[in-house]
Structure 1
Amino acid sequence: MDILLNIRVAILRFLFNYNEGLERKQEPRPPAPSFIESISSSSPQGSAALHFYTPPGFQKAKTKHPLIIDFHGGGFTAGRPSINARWIATLLASDTQPVVVGVDYGLAPGNQFPGPVQDAVAAILWLANEGAEKYHLDPSRIALTGFSAGGTLAIVAPMWMRENPDVKRTLPHLLRGIVSVYPGIDFRVPRKPAGDMLGRFLSGTWDQAYYERSPLDSPFVSPAAATDDQLKNDLPQRVGLYPVADDDLCQPCEDLREHLKRLGKDVTGDVEPRAVHGWDKYPVEEGDAARWEKRAAWFRRMARDVEDMLRV
């Protein structure tokens, strides 16, 4: 059974990489990382790679740069930081001149739960401490972003840092905020079967590789299972939630929005209409300028949310 799962995962990753290759060929080309740093982690994989995207004049800057830590999607089973490259390009255009770091966390089934969470936590803590000193980053201005599974990581990693006794180190400053894009919030309820063969293959592979091997009632898998105290005390004051309308994950995300508001959090974001899960990652067909502009406008709107979180 594990052999069959590994074959399915290999196919899934090929499809992700092939789609990304097509998307990256479109003009304007998205940026490549300026450099990559490897750090140790307590996960089964034992390490994580940090892809640094830096603004112009990074090496010569006299002031410390704010930091955005970004987590990619892929159901914890596929994907890599570069699939968010166009989103990262939008963040780099911010007036705050941030450094953006995409976290290449370990993937299931080789890096099972809580491996991706542990990699995310290791990245946050290293960047806020050694990394901030090494690369002249401002540890008092850190925001987290993520799409899909990465959006889930952006929410659960801060809770893991505060709730897990194995985490010996702490953040020197509170996080400024989180922007989570179409995240998975509640996996305790089985997802609806996809209507097409490819959708069934993708969701079935994700479920078997990661979710079926994870404690679904844990708040570190399903943030909807978190207590009021965890959500109130472990998450930063500002949380931006950006689900999409045509997605089974939308309603749990909206339920979390209302829950956080009741707890006194400053919650921003909205539901993107006429959009499916992962719609921003597909290549834009030639001549479809409206879809290109829709994606660009969406990215700019979310980036302004992050920018507001990072202002002095």
Structure 2
Amino acid sequence: MAVGSDSVPDVPMTAPPFDPELDVVLAELGHESWELITPANLAERQLRDATARPRPTVEDLRAGGRFDVAEWSVPGPEGAPDVTLVSARPAGLTGELPLLYYLHGGAMVMGNAWSVLPRVLREWALPLGLAVVSVEYRLAPGTRYPGPLEDCYAGLVWVAGHAAELGIDPERIVIGGKSAGGGLAAALALLARDRGGPGALGQLLLCPMLDDRNSSFSSRQMSGRGMWDLTSNATAWQALLGERYGDDDLSPYAAPARADDLSGLPPAYVDVGSAEMFRDEDVAYANAIWQAGGQAELHVWPGGCHGFDSLAPRSALSQDAWAARTRWLERVLKQAES
């Protein structure tokens, strides 16, 4: 049976409490930040996000010379437009660097490759000596599955094939992402395995969006609570899948929780909040990797809502989460050197 398909009893549910520091931030944000995304308001929300979400320029990302930054336009999937990749690495570092191939969040319908980079560069690229490539994949519903995933795969194939000239070690590539990006990273690991594509050292899956069915206990338990809701999640999946939404035989490349075979995958880091709807599907995914004989490190952050580390980056919970992710990255990279 595919992961994450547990039945949900029709009884009142008590939700786990939010972390106290996070609870204060959520209250300060007010009702507007909790607005549901529906098919009726999706286009307006996308326009609002594109206007409001900060999109740093290449010069901004260089951070006064601390990073070498470039934008590349590389061949996309067959018959599709080129894919834009944003590359950044600590300035002055020579030789082949390990690479974090990063996929942004935004529920498959929002976000961009630039806005996620400042913190990734500050927290990981600089202290760990990492190169980072962020992918500007096409968004739904303008581009439905498999378009966004194929964009990510095409970019990965190009980067791995040009690793020497880019100063990247092709044996030390970690694929990762947050929310929708985490789901795409999980799907990319499956697709690369099955196509014999570029191998990855690990997969960094941060509150990944894995299951289109919205049938887990936590998806109902957390409905109407936190920043991401059952209604918004269903809207995003419908935008991505179109007529395929709800299909019994949907491909695991579209929704990795549908996968029956999780063997032969790179080691995974999976983290999620205890007070968010993705909790149970993410825990189930890590468990399914273990059951397939694979390696996964799972963290369930107590009181964390979806994206808590972005909402309250200075909270103790967020600091602990970033520290744990960093330790995993350090450990995976050191093991590759031995």
Q: Do these two structures clear the TM 0.5 threshold for a shared fold by scoring above it?
A: yes
Q: Work out whether residues 40 and 46 of structure 1, in 8 Å CA contact, stay in contact via their aligned partners in 2.
A: yes
Distance 1:142 1:197 in 2: 33
1:136–1:199 Cα change, 3 Å: closer
Aligned to 2:42: 8
Partner letter of residue 202 of structure 2?
A: G
1:224: how far off?
2.0
* Higher RCO, Cα 8 Å, sep 6+: 2
What is the one-letter code of the residue matched to 1:49? T
Structural mapping, 1:68-87, within 5 Å: 68-85=100-117, 86-87=119-120
Kept in 2, the 8 Å contact 1:77–1:209? The answer is: yes
TM-score, structure 1 length as denominator?
0.79
Contact 1:244/1:277 (CA < 8 Å) preserved in 2? yes
- Does 1:267 pair with 2:299? no
> 1:117 corresponds to which residue?
149
Equivalent in the alignment of 2:327: 304
Whether 1:38 aligns to 2:73 is: yes
2:269 match: 240
Q: Root-mean-square deviation (CA), in Å?
A: 3.1
Aligned to 1:24: none
Summarize the alignment of residues 1-312 of structure 1 with structure 2, pairs less than 5 Å apart.
Answer: 8-15=42-49, 17-20=51-54, 34-42=69-77, 45-58=80-93, 61=94, 63-85=95-117, 86-95=119-128, 97-130=129-162, 132-163=163-194, 170-171=197-198, 174-189=199-214, 192=220, 194-195=223-224, 202-203=232-233, 205-214=235-244, 217-228=250-261, 231-233=262-264, 235-236=265-266, 238-282=267-311, 284=312, 290-291=314-315, 293-311=316-334, 312=337
SS at match of 1:34: strand
Letter in 2 for 1:146: G
Unpaired stretches in structure 2, ≥5 consecutive residues? 1-37, 56-62
Measure the CA separation in 2 of the matches of 1:100 and 1:144.
Answer: 10
Partners of 2:123 and 2:272 in 1: how far apart?
Answer: 19
Cα distance in 2, alignment partners of residues 277 and 264 from structure 1: 29
Q: Is the 8 A contact 2:271 2:298 kept in 1?
A: yes
State the Cα distance separating 1:20 from its structure 2 match: 4.4
TM-score normalised by L of structure 2: 0.74
| AA matched with 1:98 | L
Match for residue 20 of structure 2? none
Give the Cα separation in 1 of the matches to 2:153 and 2:183. 13
Which consecutive unaligned segments of at least 5 residues does structure 1 have?
Answer: 22-28
Instruction: Give 3-state SS (helix, strand or coil) of 2:105's partner.
Output: coil
Whole-Å separation in 2 of the counterparts to 1:34 and 1:250? 35
Q: Which runs of 4+ in 1 moved over 6 A?
A: 29-33
